[in-house]
Structure 1
Amino acid sequence: PGRGANVADPKYGPVWITSALGNENVTAIGTDPAENPEHAWKVVRTLKGQGGGSLFVKTHPESKNLWVDSPLNPDTKISQSVAVYDINNLDKGFEVLP
């Protein structure tokens, strides 16, 4: 899918987050070998998404949110919505918009 998103995970430091086209996984991989070598280049979190069919994971430096779409999901309700995670509380799960 898309290039993913880079965020500062409150527990693991800098991570790269990507989604999966074929399943519900939203995966965070540690990306800071200098300051967090124990987590570097390893999966540190696997979040549950809305389902397969995700193409993009996005955020913005000024935002506390992580946005995950699923436009290729066969369920119309899922394919026409976006899952929004709080970057500071990723374990909480997501809110669905709209």
Structure 2
Amino acid sequence: YVSIDSPELVNLYKKLYENLNLQEEKREYTPHLTIVKQRPRRPVDLDSIRKRAEIIPTLEYTLNSIIVYFQPKEHSIYVPYMEIPFRT
């Protein structure tokens, strides 16, 4: 993943957990974008991904919504739970 330094996202995360009455996770939340997920029996060439990431310019964009995912069982796929639109 690529971590994102954003106190605003940390606050949003805390508010979502509070408002949805979700059980708090044991580890601290790190705002991030998941780029690739390694899975057993499905190898990923991380060196190739790192090289490709180095040539991508820094992007700036407007975020219109976020999708909250959850993982029903440990090691299972993430499933969309809800989309939260932002005012534009």
Give the TM-score normalised by the residue count of structure 1. Answer: 0.25
* Structure ranking higher in helix proportion: 2
Q: Which has the higher strand share?
A: 1
TM-score in terms of structure 2 length:
0.26
